[in-house]
Structure 1
Amino acid sequence: MPSSVTQRQIARTVLTERGIARFVELRNAGVTAATMSRMERDGEVLRLARGLYQLPDAQLDASHSLAEVAKRAPKAVICLVSALAFHSLTDQLPGQIWLAIGRKDWPPKLEAPAVRIVRFTDSLLNDSVETHIIEGVPVRVFGIAKTIADCFRYRNKIGLSVAIEGLQEALRQRRATPGEIANQAERGGVGSVIRPYLEALTANG
């Protein structure tokens, strides 16, 4: 069955290039569902979730689950505790991925990994978004100063202690200036909330 062999080669090429591929991408490259089923059965590919595939020997990044989510929800942005963890600003290992979407966006339907949706206004959703490539997948993550401000905005959801830890680490590691954080806090409507913590931490050097 030469066509099947060719399809398998195409599938391997697509997965090597992209790290993680959705079935629609494989189908567009000329690979059928039957071929993917056979490859999965033969251990040539891993099915991460419905319609999401990866090679079994792919190098897994520590942020692998972020790549999985970004593949399924490319417009969403990694936020709050997940963004803190991505930027190495917390010891917390979130059991779910915190994902920002627009007020009217449909939440992504994912079997795994677990996702916690937070709805942002368009202006806040599109502000200070960085794109990082993880396992070949573009992943949108909020920048550090914006993430700190968001953690104070959503302190009732994630806990004030987590927000303060993120602020302390960002300043200690010099990953964001007090001015940048204060500016993002003002834009997010929490300038007065964050100011006493900023002042206390910067007064201590």
Structure 2
Amino acid sequence: MPEPYSQRQIAHALLKARGIARLVELRDAGVTAATVSRMERDGEVLRLARGLYQLSDAPLDANHSLAEAAKRVSKGVVCLVSALAFHGLTDQFPRQVWLAIGRKDWPPKPDNLPIRVVRFTEHLLTEDVETHVVEGVSVRVFSVAKTIADCFRYRNKIGLSVAIEGLQEALRQRKATAGEIARQAERGGVSTVIRPYLEALTANG
């Protein structure tokens, strides 16, 4: 049966190039849902979530869950504890992906991947966003300075100690300057909250 075989070749090429693909992307490339189901049954692909697939032998990045979340919520931006972990600013390993979305955006449907949604205003959602490639997937993550300011804004959700740890590590590892963090804190309306910690941590340096 040459047709299913050629569809499998297309699916393999697409998944190898993109890392993770939606069923609609595979369909657009000419691969039927039936072929994908057979590939899943035969162990060639893994179904990560509803309509989300990856090659079963694909190497998994430490940030795999971020790539999966980015595919599920294309407008989302990795934030707070997940962004701290991505930037290497915390020893915590989040059990859920913290994702910023707009005030009116639809939240993702519950599935295998636990996503914690935080709603941002439009200007705070689009500012200082970096794009990183994880497993072939473009993942949007807030910058270090923006992440620190956001952690202080949402300290009641993640804990003040986590925000302070992130600030300490950002300065210690020189991944952001005190000035950059102060500017983001000003834009996020938390400059008075973060100032005492910034002053204490930079007093001797």
Query: Given the two structures, how large is their TM-score scaled by the length of structure 1?
Result: 0.99
Following superposition of structure 1 onto structure 2, how do residues 95-114 of structure 1 map, counting pairs within 5 Å? 95-114=95-114
CA distance in 2, matches of 1:115, 1:134: 17
Instruction: Please name the residue that 1:164 is paired with.
Output: 164
Following superposition of structure 1 onto structure 2, how do residues 39-188 of structure 1 map, counting pairs within 5 Å? 39-188=39-188
Instruction: Please name the residue that 1:24 is paired with.
Output: 24
Cα drift, residue 110 of structure 1: 4.0
CA distance in 2, matches of 1:112, 1:11: 23
Cα RMSD of the aligned pairs, angstroms, is 0.6
CA distance in 2, matches of 1:204, 1:82: 30
Cα distance per residue 1:83-122 (max 9 Å; x no partner): 0000000001111111100001111114121011100000
CA distance in 1, matches of 2:67, 2:110: 13
Matching residue's letter, 1:97: V
Runs of 4+ in 1 over 3 A off after TM superposition: none
CA distance in 2, matches of 1:175, 1:139: 19
Cα distance per residue 1:136-168 (max 9 Å; x no partner): 000000000000000000000000000000000
Structure 1, unmatched stretches of 5+, are none
Matching residue's letter, 2:92: Q
Matching residue's letter, 1:185: A
CA distance in 2, matches of 1:195, 1:130: 25
CA distance in 1, matches of 2:204, 2:153: 24
- Identify if the C-alpha distance between structure 1 residues 110 and 17 changes in structure 2 by more than 3 Å, giving closer, same or farther: farther
Structure 2, unmatched stretches of 5+, are none
Instruction: Please name the residue that 2:4 is paired with.
Output: 4
Matching residue's letter, 1:113: L
Cα drift, residue 15 of structure 1: 0.5
